[in-house]
A and B are shown apart, each in its own frame.
Chain A
Amino acid sequence: MGFLAFLSANRTEAVRLTLEHAGLVLVSTAVAVAIGIPFGILASRRPSAERWILGGANLLQTIPSLALFGLLIPIPYVGGIGARTAIVALILYALLPIIRATHVGLGAIDPSVREAALAMGMDARQRLWQVELPLAFGVILSGIRVATVIAVGVATIGAAIGAGGLGVYIFRGVAMVDNRLILAGAVPAAAMAIGADLGIGALATRFSPDRRRRRAS
Chain B
Amino acid sequence: MSGVQVEFQGVSFVERGLPPRVEDLDLSIEAGEIVVLLGRSGSGKTTTLRLVNAILLPSRGEVRVAGKATTAWNPVELRRRTGYVIQEGGLFPHFDVARNVALMPTLLGWATERIADRVREMLRLVGLDPDRFATRYPAELSGGERQRVGVARALAADPPLVLMDEPFGALDPPTREEIRSEFRALVRDLGKTIVFVTHDLREALSLGDRIALLERSRLAFLGGARELMESGAPEARAFVRTLGGSEK
Q: Does A120 contact B (CB under 8 A)?
A: yes
Q: How far is the CB of A98 from chain B (nearest CB, A)?
A: 21
Question: In the complex, are the beta carbons of B77 and A216 less than 8 A apart?
Answer: no
Residues of A within 8 A of B (CB): 110, 112-113, 115-123, 126, 131, 134-135, 209, 212-213, 216-217
Q: What chain A residues lie within 8 Å of B93 (beta carbons)?
A: 110, 113, 135, 209, 213
Q: Given known contacts A119-B53, A120-B107, A121-B104, is B79 in contact with A216 (CB within 8 Å)?
A: no
CA distance A131 to B99 in the complex (A): 12
The total number of A-B Cβ pairs within 8 Å is 68
Of the listed residues B78, B86, B94, the one surrounded by the most CB atoms of chain A closer than 10 A to its CB is B94
A217 to B107, CA, bound (A): 29
B53 nearest in chain A by CB position = A119
Which of these, A116, A119, A135, A217, contacts B91 with CB under 8 Å?
Answer: A116
* B103 lies within 8 A of chain A by Cβ: yes
Complex interface bits, B20-51 against A, C-beta within 8 A gives 1, otherwise 0 = 00000000000000000000000000000000
Tell me whether B104 and A213 are in contact (CB under 8 A).
no
Tell me whether B60 is interfacial, beta carbon within 8 Å.
no
Q: Is the CB of A213 within 8 A of B137?
A: yes
- Given known A-B contacts A116-B90, A116-B91, A216-B137, A121 and B77 have beta carbons under 8 A apart: yes
Q: Indicate if the CB atoms of A121 and B90 lie closer than 8 Å.
A: no
- Inter-subunit contact B84/A134 (CB<8 Å): no
B177, CB-defined interface residue at 8 Å: no
Beta-carbon contact of B90 and A113 below 8 Å? yes
Contacts A121-B76, A121-B77, A121-B104; is A116 near B137 (CB within 8 Å)? no
Known: A119-B53, A120-B79. A112 touches B94 (CB 8 A): no
Partner of B92, one of A118, A121, A131, A212: A131
Specify which chain B residues have a CB less than 8 angstroms from the CB of A131 in the assembled complex.
92
B140 CB–A CB distance under 8 Å: yes
Taking CB atoms, residues of chain B closer than 8 Å to A126 are 107
Kindly report which residue of chain A lies nearest to residue B94, judged by CB atoms: A209
The 9 closest A-B pairs by CB, nearest first: A116-B90, A121-B79, A121-B80, A119-B84, A112-B90, A209-B94, A213-B139, A213-B137, A217-B140
* Least distance between A111 CB and chain B CB atoms (Å): 9
Q: Nearest Cβ in chain A — how far from B50, in angstroms?
A: 8
Q: For residue A116, which residues in chain B have a CB less than 8 angstroms away from its CB?
A: 84, 86, 89-92
B139 touches A120 (CB 8 A): no
Bound-state CA distance A126–B107 (Å) is 9
Is the beta-carbon distance between A212 and B137 smaller than 8 angstroms?
yes
Cα A119 to Cα B154 in complex, Å, equals 10
Q: Counting chain B CB atoms within 10 Å of each CB, which of A115, A119, A216 scores highest? A: A119
B175 proximal to A (CB < 8 A) = no
Q: CA A213 – CA B135 in complex, angstroms? A: 10
Residues 101-143 of chain B, each 1 if its beta carbon lies under 8 Å from chain A, else 0:
0011001000000000000000000000000000111011000
